[in-house]
Amino acid sequence: MSCHPSCQHEPIPEPAMSVEDLAEALGHTLPPKKPTLLQETDDSEFGKAASDVFSEAEELLLRKNHDYGSKNISLSPGGPLNGLRVRMWDKMARINNLVDKDVEPSNESLRDSFIDLLNYSAIALMVLDGKWPE
């Protein structure tokens, strides 16, 4: 194992055993690992449901990016964040109208609208992190 691709020194050998195995071989007991948040709540159904929603949103985001490309965001009037704010504002106005009037949408579902908001948020984070294509 080397530290990075252009590294010039000898590769660092893989450890012969894990830290846990070494501690056991030496007769030591390691403190228990801190449980993850999911383990602390012991609610694997919630974690699975969240993972399913994010996977669905990711798939839709990739399909839409394939169709629209990246320039519809990066070349938005006022800049990418402004373009996202407008899209999110429009989406929230649609959601508010449907919920407030208690009507069934004739096109995309409320669920679809919330997934779009999730994806607009993801795009905004990529823009802020400098990872959205110009």
Q: pLDDT tens track of the chain, all 134 residues?
A: 445 555 565 666 666 777 777 777 778 787 877 766 655 655 678 888 999 999 999 999 999 999 999 999 999 999 999 999 999 999 999 999 999 999 999 999 999 999 999 999 999 999 999 999 98
Q: CB of 119 within 8 A of CB of 64?
A: yes
Q: Tell me how far apart the alpha carbons of residues 57 and 32 are, in angstroms, rounded to a whole number.
A: 35
Amino acid 18: pLDDT:
75
Q: Where are the domains of the chain?
A: 34-128
In terms of phi and psi (left: phi > 0; alpha: psi -120 to 50; beta: otherwise), the region of 79 is: left
* pLDDT score, position 46: 86
CA 61 remoteness from chain centre:
11
Whole-model pTM?
0.68
- Cα–Cα dist 19/26, whole Å: 11
- Measuring CA to CA, which residue among 121, 53, 31, 32 is closest to residue 84? 121
Residue of 67, 53, 49 whose CA lies nearest to 117: 53
Q: Over the Cα atoms of the chain, what is R_g? A: 23
The pLDDT assigned to 57 comes to 96
Interatomic CA distance for residues 94 and 74, integer angstroms? 24
